[in-house]
Amino acid sequence: QVQLVQSGTEVKKPGGSVKVSCKTSGYTFATYPISWVRQAPGQGLEWLGWIGTYNGNTHYSEKVQDRITMTKDASTKTVYMELRSLRSDDTAVYYCGREYFDWISNYGMDVWGQGTTVTVSS
Amino acid sequence: VIWMTQSPSLVSASAGDRVNISCRLSQGISTYLSWYQQKPGKAPDLLIYAVSTLQSGVPSRFSGGGSGTDFTLTISGLQAEDVATYYCQQYYAFPRTFGQGTKLEIK
A34-68: pLDDT as tens digits: 999 999 999 999 999 999 999 999 999 999 999 99
pLDDT above 90 (res B27) = yes
What pLDDT, on the 0 to 100 scale, is given for residue A11? Answer: 98
Calculate ∠ Cα A50-A53-A56, nearest 5°: 75
Contacts of A60 in chain B (CB under 8 A): 95
Residue in A97, A118, A86, A90 with CA at minimum distance from that of residue A7: A118
**Chain A residues whose beta carbon lies within 8 Å of the beta carbon of residue B33:** 108
Asked if residues B83 and B102 have their Cβ atoms less than 8 Å apart, the reply is no
Average pLDDT, integer, range B18-31: 96
The Cα A15–Cα A84 span in angstroms is 7
pLDDT at A35: 98
Question: In this complex, which of A35, A106, A112 lies closest to B43 when CB atoms are compared?
Answer: A112
Chain A residues touching B94 at Cβ < 8 A: 50, 59
Determine how many CB atoms are found less than 10 A away from the CB of residue A104: 8
Percentage of chain A exceeding pLDDT 90: 94
Asked if B94's CB is within 8 angstroms of A59's CB, the reply is: yes
